[in-house]
Amino acid sequence: MSSDTAAISNLGALRDSYKYGFVTDIESDTAPPGLNEDTVRFISAKKGEPQWLLDWRLDAYRRWQKMENPDWAKLRIAPIDYQAATYYSAPKLASGPKSLDEVDPALLQTYEKLGIPLHERAALAGVAVDAVFDSVSVATTFKKTLGDLGIIFCSFGEAVREHPDLVRKYLGSVVPQGDNFFAALNSAVFSDGSFVYVPKGLRCPMELSTYFRINAAKTGQFERTLIICDKDSYVSYLEGCTAPQRDENQLHAAVVELVALEGAQIKYSTVQNWYPGDTDGKGGIYNFVTKRGACRGARAKISWTQVETGSAITWKYPSCILEGDDSVGEFYSVAITNNMQQADTGTKMIHLGKNTRSTIISKGISAGRGQNTYRGLVRIQPKAQNARNYTQCDSLLIGDRCGAHTVPYIETRNPTARVEHEATTSKISDDQMFYCQSRGLSREDSLSLIVNGFCKAVLKELPMEFAVEAQKLLAVSLEGSVG
């Protein structure tokens, strides 16, 4: 009867509860498996890219070949055969439809089923969506509405064609090709993603969002997102992800670069719900992602909010480089690991400018045999006078077979810096569960209530529509974790 001792007695539920596990039957244009320079050329040619971008990719590929899989994270990763994977898969006829009417109905249905209607009349009010299916963007909504304001919101491929100067100027300026193993791989083979540019002084009137869907088997997804906020502009960007249930692991190695110029603000929210694998740890997505933002001017601000519930393995450290004086970086994170899931996630806050401030709130929840690590770096450079950081890391354990780990690194090279770090680890208590149940709430509802309360400081940072989704997702992700 005790939630601690009898936890994990009913784990079958999770597999059934992953409601996004279906496969869309659609004809695809797929590259042969394997990775070499020809693969890179194939992708670049498919996208009709200019020579400079092909050279950029090949440079990345050559760097990647000399690099090793990183092994410093607290993750057990089965060896990945990079030659067995497919690096490009696109639904046929979907390359660059002019309007939503030209999008394959099977794709529209897929997104409908995922709760993301792409018809603008049915779409969520105030949210523009770029839908990425395997390797390509299949549709972008509200493009014209935004375009009239001067806001560019399109697929990465289109940005390369239509706005080459912006892409060339900023691509790789925050995450260089050789930054790390997965970023180098992405730089070589990235296929699509989203591009955003908000002009000076403009506040983007709607939430922009990208919905990533992996469909094809044995295929990796390598998307690249680049968001540029010009002086004194603002954008709120949302990202959601799902994938079918498959027995083999699939690699998702994305790169996201954010550039906030003077006085600009970027709010980037993620609800990551990739297929987590089954209860025995079979299958699931390897989510190895590099996300980084640069505050390039005074008073710029970048906020990362993430709710990580899916993926077999998550390796992800959305970071901020605080170059401008008085710039602000924030990282709010909820990471759940249930069953055999592993997560090693956190952030890096690099303080370069004067009076720069950063806040880190991390909530890790471990259930089943899940392993959850917070790994974070706060670095105050010599010129960062009066830099401030506040870090709070809380871990919640459900049952007695899971693990929570906190690995904070603090490097201070300026004596005026003030860095605070607080960390707690607690178990969901039988008393809390009983208290809720004694008021009539079921075990599942009680757990969901307690966990949502634990995550409140992060969830309140999410845009409204996402917050509701995230709350539901937390409950679903923990289904079966109490007996």
Residues that bind another protein (CB under 8 A): 1-3, 429-432, 434-443, 445-446, 449-450, 452-457
Distance of CA 340 to the CA centre of its chain: 20
| Nearer of residues 360 and 447 to another protein, judged by Cβ | 447
Q: What is the closest distance, in whole angstroms, from the C-beta atom of residue 463 to another protein in the complex?
A: 19
Contact 392, 364 (CB under 8 A): no
| Nearer of residues 253 and 396 to another protein, judged by Cβ | 396
| Nearer of residues 37 and 430 to another protein, judged by Cβ | 430
The span from the CA of 438 to the CA of 420, in Å, is 39
Q: What is the closest distance, in whole angstroms, from the C-beta atom of residue 442 to another protein in the complex?
A: 5
| Nearer of residues 51 and 438 to another protein, judged by Cβ | 438
The span from the CA of 324 to the CA of 313, in Å, is 34
Question: To which H or E segment does residue 473 belong?
Answer: helix 464-477
| Nearer of residues 377 and 457 to another protein, judged by Cβ | 457
The span from the CA of 216 to the CA of 88, in Å, is 10
| Nearer of residues 69 and 426 to another protein, judged by Cβ | 426
Range list of β-strands (E), 178-325:
194-198, 207-213, 224-229, 234-242, 249-252, 255-260, 265-272, 284-295, 301-308, 313-316, 319-322
Question: To which H or E segment does residue 301 belong?
Answer: strand 301-308
The span from the CA of 322 to the CA of 361, in Å, is 18
Q: What is the closest distance, in whole angstroms, from the C-beta atom of residue 374 to another protein in the complex?
A: 18
| Nearer of residues 218 and 443 to another protein, judged by Cβ | 443
| Nearer of residues 82 and 434 to another protein, judged by Cβ | 434
Measuring CA to CA, how many Å separate 281 from each of 61, 97, 312?
31, 38, 7
Tokens of 103: 């999008």
Cα angle 117, 121, 122; round to 5: 30
CB-CB neighbours of 363 under 10 Å: 24
Cα angle 421, 358, 426; round to 5: 35
Contact 264, 234 (CB under 8 A): yes
| Nearer of residues 52 and 435 to another protein, judged by Cβ | 435
Half-sphere exposure of 380 (CA within 13 A, CB side): 22
| Nearer of residues 138 and 455 to another protein, judged by Cβ | 455
Q: What is the closest distance, in whole angstroms, from the C-beta atom of residue 440 to another protein in the complex?
A: 4
| Nearer of residues 256 and 436 to another protein, judged by Cβ | 436
Q: What is the closest distance, in whole angstroms, from the C-beta atom of residue 270 to another protein in the complex?
A: 21
Q: Which amino acid is at 280?
A: D
| Nearer of residues 105 and 440 to another protein, judged by Cβ | 440
Q: Which amino acid is at 180?
A: N
Q: What is the closest distance, in whole angstroms, from the C-beta atom of residue 357 to another protein in the complex?
A: 24
Identify the sign of the CA torsion 454, 458, 462, 464: positive
Q: What is the closest distance, in whole angstroms, from the C-beta atom of residue 467 to another protein in the complex?
A: 13
Q: What is the closest distance, in whole angstroms, from the C-beta atom of residue 480 to another protein in the complex?
A: 17
Contact 35, 87 (CB under 8 A): yes
Range list of β-strands (E), 414-464:
418-427
Q: What is the closest distance, in whole angstroms, from the C-beta atom of residue 446 to another protein in the complex?
A: 8
The span from the CA of 322 to the CA of 381, in Å, is 10
Q: What is the closest distance, in whole angstroms, from the C-beta atom of residue 471 to another protein in the complex?
A: 11
Q: Which amino acid is at 137?
A: S
Q: What is the closest distance, in whole angstroms, from the C-beta atom of residue 438 to another protein in the complex?
A: 5
The DSSP bridge pattern shows strands 249-252 and 284-295 to be parallel
Cα angle 217, 186, 144; round to 5: 85
Q: Which residues pair with 424 in a beta bridge?
A: 394
Taking each helix axis as running N to C, give the angle between helix 37-46 and helix 181-189, from 0 to 180 degrees, rounded to the nearest 10: 50
Tokens of 280: 């025995």
Q: What is the closest distance, in whole angstroms, from the C-beta atom of residue 452 to another protein in the complex?
A: 7
| Nearer of residues 305 and 371 to another protein, judged by Cβ | 305
Q: What is the closest distance, in whole angstroms, from the C-beta atom of residue 444 to another protein in the complex?
A: 10
